[in-house]
A and B are shown apart, each in its own frame.
Chain A
């Protein structure tokens, strides 16, 4: 079946603009995770959704970052007033159970 998909694959934006990154998880997977991969920080956990429960936002680096998951499926990660340090690859993963995650190809964000 189809894997995790993310769009866009690449996004270039100007500093100060808002961006939205989309993740389509594998159908039926109840858990969804966002991670960020950057040269300086490696792979960092951002946020976690499990079913209809309130998300775990403990990894979000600032209040400019937010995410939502509509209908327990598609998720959107929003970064407001982007900064150059936000440049990274944003990875989404979904999981049928909490200990095996399937990753999407990522969105490469470049803030100029």
Chain B
């Protein structure tokens, strides 16, 4: 069975600092991996995805993630965060029917 673990439930960081949100997955088959962002009282928005090819994936809003098969990780990074990046971030793996299996989420809080 596939699963996703987000190691940090909350990450506080100061504005303009770098951030890394960690994600590990478990799967016995080839995986598609995703990061979604959810702003308060809104739906989920796709940040980036890994399907195949280059292991470094660039997404919207300056975010990027690196797929590491040996460590079964897909950590999300941004070199300099803004107040507007405050949101909840979800890592997900694609299940057998294309349904998404989500981690528990990481709340990123950017402080001035």
Contacts and interface: CB of A to CB of B under 8 A. Distances in A.
B102 A99 contact: no
Q: Give the interface SS of chain A, mostly helix, strand, loop or mixed.
A: strand
Contact of B100 (A45, A50, A104): A45
Contacts of A98: 94, 97-98
B46 A99 contact: no
Interface in A90-111: 91, 93, 95, 98-106
Interface residues of A, number: 24
B43 A99 contact: no
B70 interface: no
B105 A106 contact: no
Interface of B: 32, 36, 42-46, 49, 51, 90, 92, 94-95, 97-105
Interface of A: 4, 31, 33, 35, 42-43, 45, 48, 50, 56, 58-59, 91, 93, 95, 98-106
